[in-house]
Structure 1
Amino acid sequence: MKLKRYLAATLMAVTLSVADAYTQTIQTTDTNSVFRLEDLEELVFKNHPIVKQAALLSEAAKANVLQSLGYFDPALKASFGRKLFGNTEYYNNWGSELKIPLYIAGADLKVGYDRNVGTYTNPETRTNTSGLSAVGISIPLGQGLLIDARRSTLWQAKAMVSYAEADKVKQINSVWYAAVKDYWNWYYSYREYTLTKEGVDLAYKRFKAVRNQTLIGDKPPIDSVEAAITVQDRQIQLEKSTIEVQNALLVLSNHLWNEKGLPLELPRNAVPQTIKETVVLPGNAVLDSLLQQAERQHPELVKLRAKGSQLDIERRYRQEVMKPKINISGALISSRRDFNSYIPDYYDFNWSNYKVGLEFAFPLFLRAERGKLREVKIKQQQLNYDLQQSGREIGNDITKSYNSLSAYKSQLGVQIQSINNQQILLTGELQKFDLGESTLFLINSRESKLIDMKIKRESMISGYQKTLAELYYKAGIRQNQGIYSDR
């Protein structure tokens, strides 16, 4: 009699503790809001600071092009000097020039006006009181004819625009890939939490049934204790899953920003989208297409090619500076200040009034020039090797990701079959238990195994989706979000 009262008291205490633990697992959220991958994509590409920062890369490259174009801007300069001493005007000099750099042949077009008078003015530059106007041109016949420093700078700046665009794509792809991985981590954490909570619900319902049977004497009290332990064990797992899904939600929120640049957080009732259990592996045609696209437009390869174009321009320039410097300049001169006054022909613009000049320079050993050219050629060789190796690694990475997808697909198919078989075993065990031919331990064992297998299935689905995102990331392009579909 005392034993029965003791067991009844024990059963009541267990019932109260399990009931209290189960009540704490009930969530009070009214509705769940589905946060789809497309929603994440919209927010990331619209408001993410790194995405906005990456957009500035191409703007900075274009600014460098504009800066390089400044070398071809017309320049106007003027100078004035006068000296008076002891009632003597030593000199009164005025000079002005408009120089217009020409894109072709590295030439400069010049328009100038000089007025140099005074007692001690240099006879070579002395003019009459009207001064002299000049229209001329300066042309390099040797070094600088095909390419010069300003054209080299401009062409290299233009080549770096492609480099900056590729770098922008690379950074944006990296941001998106990280966001996708965090999304599928959240998806797995949430599905693990959901399945664990379903396990708690099932264990609690079974505990209540066993408890009622124990109270009427159909089951021994020890079965109620075992059922209670199962509830409590799954409750511990649920608490762990709750923390993990909250942390995964916080990590995903790192990628969320509003239009004002303020951080956003997903609400607690947000849930990820659901995914079909059966995945469709991209065909070999997709793999071939990704390999071809990667070869043409992968950001890393585009950057290397842009760097190669820049080095090729630098090589051409360094070869050019090894030529002798031969600059010829000429100008027609006149006493004319405007086009309305009369000027005698022998003082006006004609082929008998001119200035010419010739400049020649050539280093005898060219050691500096040859050393710089050799350095550029070595950099080109290094770049070619880097391009070959990078292309090979990118192709292999794409193929490796595709092979991982194929493995995930096979494993997921087997896992789904195993879940179906485990469900059949559990159903049969429940039927045997109702007939008194099985034990609660076997039921809990098979049910826990089924829950673990379902969680593993969700892990495979999450891994498959992350690997699919990795496939496109390795190819250097954005993933088409149309591949996702609801269960």
Structure 2
Amino acid sequence: MKRQNKFFLLAFLLLFSFSFAQDSLKISASEFMNVVKNYHPLALKYQLQNRLAEAEITRARGNFDPVVAGKLGEKNIDGTKYYEQKNLELGIPTWYGIDLHGSYNYLDGQKLNNSDTKGGLYQFGITVPLAKNLLYDQRRAMLDQARFGLRMTEAEQAVLTNELLLEAENTYWDWVQNYEIYKLKSEIVEINKDRLDFTKKTFEYGEKPAIDTIEALSQLQSFELQQRDAFLSFVKSTQQLQLYLWKDNQQLYELSEMIYPSDRLEEHLAYSDFEFLINEVDSRPINSHFSILYYDQKQNILESERRLKWQSFLPKLDFTYNFFNKENYSPDFLPLFDNNFQYGLKLEIPVFQRAARANYQMAKIKLNQNQIDTNLKIRELDVKIETYKNEILNYHAQIDLSRNNLQNYRRLLSAEEMRYSNGESSLFLINSRENKVIEAQEKFISIRTKFLKSFNKLKWMKENFTL
């Protein structure tokens, strides 16, 4: 893999050296972000995570599915039929912990128990929890928690997706910055090549000393070194950008030709939209942020668990009633406890309740811990938003200062060139002024990039708020 990366870098350098002036593939920020949204493996993984949470709901609902069961058997020894049995059952669990069940049982044989009933027997019954599991039980808790879990997962995946998109977009603008710095260095190299040629001619005509040609050559070589370093930075950032370029079937997009940005730092809408963005974020309640919704849904899950643990303090008191009717007999339903019935009452009471007390205490502690985490997250988001807002305002002010500073350095360079043409200055002073201009231009580009990256941080923070 390292050898492949080195080969790619070498091929990329050669390709760019020979084809920079030719038409190449351009990509805008919007096109790049669309690729990331639709094809990046992490974005697709987050979508699949939501589908897993939806499947959890379906699985929890399965606890309420009716169950059909059947049984067929016979025992025969030495010609004696002990029993022959045919059984079909249907169980229907309900939301309130009540279970309905019905069955048909056919039994015949010579060695049956005294409590068994020969022939066909229909049975209809109900089981009702009278204390524990009446108001809340494991089945309802699992379904509630699956529903809360889906909303929790959706909130988490929204935050993770937006973090991925923020990282991708800022990588794009770092790439643009390196490209513009490389273009700047290339333009300066061409200017200094022309200056060197001009200086050589003036020396040949006896108008300038030989030392000026050395001064011009040294300046050119210095900028050529800077140009190569800037180009290497641009190539590295292109490789970083490629990490976000994917195709269908999670295949990495291999660059077969040179690409460079079609957007420029100075053309971004953020310079006019940043105040609107700040006001929009300020108008959003912090509790509607997906990170807080994540903890809210987790709180609901823990509250469901607490309700379930509280049920353990109640005695388990279940009442079961079954109505029987023999095959080919007319049914006689009423009175319920007169004929053809069976009922049962089962009571269980833990003596010391130690497991119940421990489980309930643990559930309450988890609720308190999650509330603490929620408060910390709210504070963290508040600090982040204020930090991003301050960065935007500060960098926007720095852009104006940097622009004015660059204009002043350009005026000084122009004045120095005028003095040099009049014989009142030297090439050394021009080079010094030119170096200051280059430094100011690089600073100007860097501040623009910082402003856009801070703008993006707040913009993607806004995307984490629910509408």
- So what's the TM-score if we normalise by structure 1? 0.87
Asked whether 1:198 is paired with 2:187, we answer: yes
Deviations 1:203-253 (A, max 9, x none): 111111111111111111111111111111100110111111011111011
Aligned partners of 1:394 and 1:475 also within 8 Å: no
Check 1:434–1:68 CA distance in 2 against 1; reply closer, same or farther (3 A cut): same
Asked whether 1:299 is paired with 2:299, we answer: no
1:184 shift after superposition: 1.3
1:477 shift after superposition: 2.8
Asked whether 1:390 is paired with 2:390, we answer: no
Which of these two proteins has the greater Rg computed from alpha carbons?
A: 1
Check 1:281–1:288 CA distance in 2 against 1; reply closer, same or farther (3 A cut): closer
**2: distance between equivalents of 1:321 and 1:153?**
16
Task: Give the SS at the match of 2:201.
Answer: helix
| Mean CA deviation greater in 109-118 or 361-370 | 109-118
Residue in structure 2 matched with residue 158 of structure 1 by the alignment:
147
1:188 shift after superposition: 1.1
Asked whether 1:41 is paired with 2:33, we answer: yes
1:30 shift after superposition: 1.7
Residue in structure 2 matched with residue 365 of structure 1 by the alignment:
352
Aligned partners of 2:99 and 2:127 also within 8 Å: yes
Residue in structure 2 matched with residue 121 of structure 1 by the alignment:
112
Deviations 1:96-141 (A, max 9, x none): 31101112x21111111123333332212x2122x21011211111
Residue in structure 1 matched with residue 261 of structure 2 by the alignment:
271
Return the match for 2:434 from 431, 447, 457.
447
Residue in structure 2 matched with residue 335 of structure 1 by the alignment:
326
| Mean CA deviation greater in 309-318 or 262-271 | 262-271
Return the match for 2:166 from 152, 158, 177.
177
Aligned partners of 1:318 and 1:369 also within 8 Å: yes
Asked whether 1:65 is paired with 2:51, we answer: no
**1: distance between equivalents of 2:279 and 2:294?**
22
Deviations 1:421-472 (A, max 9, x none): 1111111111101100000011111112101111110011111111111123
| TM alignment of 1:15-30, pairs within 5 A | 28-30=20-22
Asked whether 1:456 is paired with 2:447, we answer: no
Task: Give the SS at the match of 1:203.
Answer: helix
Task: Give the SS at the match of 1:282.
Answer: helix
| Mean CA deviation greater in 292-301 or 387-396 | 292-301
Asked whether 1:309 is paired with 2:300, we answer: yes
- So what's the TM-score if we normalise by structure 2? 0.90
| TM alignment of 1:119-158, pairs within 5 A | 119-124=110-115, 126-129=116-119, 131-158=120-147
Which 5+ residue runs of structure 1 have no aligned equivalent?
Answer: 1-23, 337-341, 479-487
Match for 2:83: what amino acid? Y
Aligned partners of 2:409 and 2:433 also within 8 Å: yes
Asked whether 1:246 is paired with 2:235, we answer: yes
**1: distance between equivalents of 2:183 and 2:81?**
100
Residue in structure 2 matched with residue 80 of structure 1 by the alignment:
72
Return the match for 1:379 from 349, 366, 376.
366
**2: distance between equivalents of 1:333 and 1:164?**
48
Aligned partners of 2:127 and 2:319 also within 8 Å: yes
Residue in structure 2 matched with residue 465 of structure 1 by the alignment:
452
1:349 shift after superposition: 8.3
**2: distance between equivalents of 1:80 and 1:183?**
70
Aligned partners of 1:186 and 1:272 also within 8 Å: no
Match for 2:94: what amino acid? L
1:32 shift after superposition: 4.7
Which 5+ residue runs of structure 2 have no aligned equivalent?
Answer: 1-15
Match for 2:298: what amino acid? K
Task: Give the SS at the match of 2:350.
Answer: coil
Identity in percent: 26
**2: distance between equivalents of 1:51 and 1:112?**
51
